[in-house]
Amino acid sequence: MIKTGAIHIMLACVVICLTYCNRADHISAVTQVQRHEANWSDGLAAYEATWPDKFEIGKSADKSFIAKWDIDVRPDGKGLPKGEGRAKNGAAVYQNKCASCHGVNGYEGPEDKLVTDSTGRNTIGNYWPYATTIFDYVRRAMPFEAPGSLTDQEVYDITAYLLYLNGIIEEEFVITEKTLPQVEMPAKKRYVLDDRRGGPEIR
Amino acid sequence: MSVEKEHFQQIQKLVRWLTVTVVVFLIVTVVFVVYQHTSDQVIEPNFDSKIIVDPSKVQGAPSSELGHRSKFDSPKRIATYATASRTPLEDLQGTITPSDLHFERHHAGIPEIDPAQHELLIHGLVEKPIRLKLSDLKKYPSVSRICFIECSGNFRYGKREMTPGEVCGLTSQSEWTGVLLSTILRDLGVKPEAKWLLAEGADGALMARSVPLQEALTEAIIAYGQNGEAIRPAQGYPMRLVIPGFEGNTQIKWLRRIEVTDEPVMTREETSKYTEKVKDGKIRMMSFVMDARSIVTYPAYPKKIEKGWQELRGIAWSGRGKVTKVLVSVDNGKTWQEAHLQGPVLEKAHTAFKYMWNWDGKPTRVLSKAIDETGYEQPTYNQLVEARESRGGYHFNPVVGWDIEKSGEVYLADIKDI
């Protein structure tokens, strides 16, 4: 009796098993293809875990080397050398080294207008938010045919002259490492930080 | 009688001469044909063809150290100015830009830099300032990434006869290889107050841009490789910054200095340039990311199409991640269909899209618009003008259309009419 019961149960199991295995919908017709993300950083974390704590590559840079290369000037004045710039002296340097590209008065071109005129085109006076940028840029990249050739004195004088031409400072105002960061540029209040964030809104 | 005889003799003489000439000609021809058949001379294919030489009947050119393009196919950059050239998007296949067709934009020309004389200084708010040569850079663990670089001033219009490259060819795609900036900075120890970095090039403009450190640390690469070889001089040899998705100007070429700082430097390039006028008289600055965009590169000016089935092709890209969808319209925007995107779709990368279209020969306009993973939908010119109260400037990425005329000629559609 127990033996027959066991056989019946076994048979039932086999039938259920076979039925289940044969169900057509059990095996999906289309195998889902494994989607590989194909991102540049796939596996990077695991690879990073194999790196040493320090690579110790390259040569350490000493203060004098850095001082020679560190030329940028920030809105708070950091990076400005000690000096005094006067519009009157800047006029002479400007006529000599800048006027051929930017015009005798700073707006005749052929290159970028520096001084505001009736055309409304962007100039230092109506578009530049920081006065320190004039010093940074002129020292960095001007004059076009001999970039980096101006002395700090010449750069100070030109900076004073361009601010004077745009009506931002008086002719006698002395531009120094202290006064230049304090010069308020008319366009500064118009500047806003990027507000685009993706998503459906157009900005 | 004698006159007649004379005439007859003259005719006979003429006939004899003619016969001799014909015979000589025949002999020459026969000899020539026989020679052609018996010698090693190339035999012209007997079908109508412009092929002078049957390539299957001669030995080809020997192998060489450097490859070159077929003389029958010579795409060229659109080099209208001394300071910029554009990628001919309409001449490219797939999504990788051949390195010599990568767009150029420089502010003081392309410097010639001997890597033995070149150093990268990394200093500022780091525990250990460092000087790296190209050979040092190559010792770090490397990373490769396919992404686009696009100038943020990349939209031109104004006449019907403009190619896709002329409209927005200041975008190109390469596989960039180098070292993650984060890998190097990890070694140098970044001080907690560090928030920005200034990247500076070694060109005549000492081109410099401030970039937020957080964004730069995740993805920025100091690259030395481009499409399997050294970066081309026009793209920043021997090393450049690559920040996927950011505007091209921040990705400083000929990189010579990185200063980790707490404040942006406010260089000329991030104040008086690469800023855009937006509504209420404001000026938007630090707009780094390139928004989603697309352009149909076929059919496009100056191509001419024929009635029937065509594969409409183009590229779409977004600086905010992956392109998720490109919609195309072949009926001037009345209806839009989803284009097929060629996989794998990569983040911040040119993505090829295609759409099979049976042109009925009637004049129409084709358009495309990209949608990215943030849900951003590429705007029209009029939508941009309305949102910004500005008719152009940097980061202008409008939907571009092509007018197909009855003749099959294709012209750039009036942007204000889309």
- Gap between the Cα atoms of B259 and A66, Å rounded: 10
Work out the pLDDT band at B30, boundaries 50, 70, 90.
Answer: confident
**Which residues does chain A have within 8 Å of residue B265's beta carbon, measured at their own beta carbons?**
72-74, 136
CB contact set of B210 (below 8 Å; sequence gap of 6+): B196, B197, B198, B261, B264, B265, B266, B267, B270
Mean local confidence (pLDDT), B278-301: 97
Which pLDDT tens digit goes with each residue over A119-133? 999 999 999 999 999
B 334-353: CB under 8 A from A: 343-344, 346-347
User: Does residue B282 surpass a pLDDT of 70?
Assistant: yes
Report d(CA B357, CA B403) in Å as an integer: 15
Kindly state the percentage of chain A with pLDDT values over 90. Answer: 81
pLDDT digits (tens, 9 = 90+) for A84-98: 999 999 999 999 999
B262 has a chain A CB within 8 A of its CB:
no
Q: Coil, strand or helix: which one is B209?
A: strand
Does pLDDT of B303 surpass 50? yes
For chain B, what is the mean pLDDT? Answer: 94
pLDDT class of B32 with cuts at 50, 70, 90: confident
How far is residue B327 CA from its own chain's centroid?
A: 22
pLDDT of residue A34: 47
Structure confidence at residue A140 (pLDDT): 97
Per-residue pLDDT tens digits for B145-158: 999 999 999 999 99
Q: What is the ipTM of this complex?
A: 0.84
A82-189: CATH class: mainly alpha
CB contact under 8 A, A40 and B256: no
Question: What pLDDT does A3 receive?
Answer: 60
For A22, A48, A51, A91, B278, the CA distances from A45, given in Å and listed in that order, are 44, 5, 10, 58, 41
Reading the block at residue B286, the tokens are 């630090």
pLDDT band at B70 (very low <50, low <70, confident <90, very high): very high
Q: How far is CA B49 from CA B42, B55, B74, in A?
A: 15, 13, 21
User: How does residue B415 score in pLDDT terms, banded at 50, 70 and 90?
Assistant: very high
Confidence of residue B167 (pLDDT cuts 50, 70, 90): very high
Residue A38 banded pLDDT, cuts 50, 70, 90: confident
Question: How far, in Å, CA of B288 to CA of B247, rounded?
Answer: 5
- Tell which residue, B91, B394, B87, B395, has the closest CA to residue B234: B87
Contacts of B256 in chain A (CB under 8 A): 69
Which of 112-171 (B) contact A at CB < 8 A?
121-123, 128-133, 136, 139-141, 143-147
**Per the CB < 8 Å rule, is B107 touching A200?**
no
Q: Is the pLDDT of residue B217 over 70?
A: yes
Query: Does residue A37 carry a pLDDT above 60?
Result: no
CA distance B290 to chain A (A): 10
Is residue B206 very low, low, confident or very high in pLDDT (cuts 50, 70, 90)?
very high
Q: Residue B292 pLDDT more than 50?
A: yes
Residue A18 has pLDDT above 60, yes or no: no
Residue B282: how many other CB atoms lie within 10 Å:
17
pLDDT category of residue A23 using cuts at 50, 70 and 90: very low
Q: pLDDT digits over A44-69, tens only?
A: 999 999 999 999 999 999 999 999 99
**Does B36 have pLDDT greater than 70?**
no
Determine, for residues A198 and B379 on separate chains, whether the beta-carbon distance falls below 8 Å: no
- Which of B229 and A22 is assigned the larger pLDDT? B229
The full set of domain ranges for chain A reads 82-189
Q: Chain A partners of B284 at a C-beta cutoff of 8 Å?
A: 191-195
Confidence category of residue B51, pLDDT binned at 50, 70, 90:
low
pLDDT of residue A25: 46
Backbone angles phi, psi at B271, to 5 degrees: -125, -65
State the average pLDDT over residues B124-134: 98
Of residues B269 and A12, more confidence is placed in B269
CA A199 to chain CA centroid, nearest Å: 22
Confidence of residue B249 (pLDDT cuts 50, 70, 90): very high
Could you read off the pLDDT of B311-338 as tens digits, one per residue? Answer: 999 999 999 999 999 999 999 999 999 9
CA distance A11 to chain B (A): 51
Please check the confidence at residue B349 and state whether its pLDDT lies above 60. yes
Task: Dump the DSSP string for B84-135.
Answer: EEB--GGG--SSPPPGGGS-EE-SS------TTT--EEEEESBSS-EEE-HH
Nearest residue in A to B292, CA atom = A198
Q: Is the pLDDT of residue B339 over 70?
A: yes
Distance of CA B394 to the CA centre of its chain: 19
Q: What is the pLDDT of residue B11?
A: 86
Residue A193 pairs in a beta bridge with: B285
With contact defined as beta carbons under 8 Å apart, do A134 and A125 qualify? no
Whether B201 shows a pLDDT value over 80: the answer reads: yes
Q: Do A40 and B282 touch (CB under 8 A)?
A: no
Q: Give the C-alpha separation, B343 to B139, whole Å.
A: 33
Nearest CA to B342 out of B314, B370, B300 is that of B314
- Percent share of chain B, pLDDT over 90: 85
Of residues B128, B145, B286, nearest to A194 (C-beta):
B286
Contacts of A203 in chain B (CB under 8 A): 278, 387-388
| Domains of chain B and CATH, by start | 84-274 (3.90.420.10), 293-417 (2.60.40.650)
Distance (Å, whole) CA B362 – CA B269? 47
How many angstroms separate the CA atoms of B415 and B35, rounded?
65
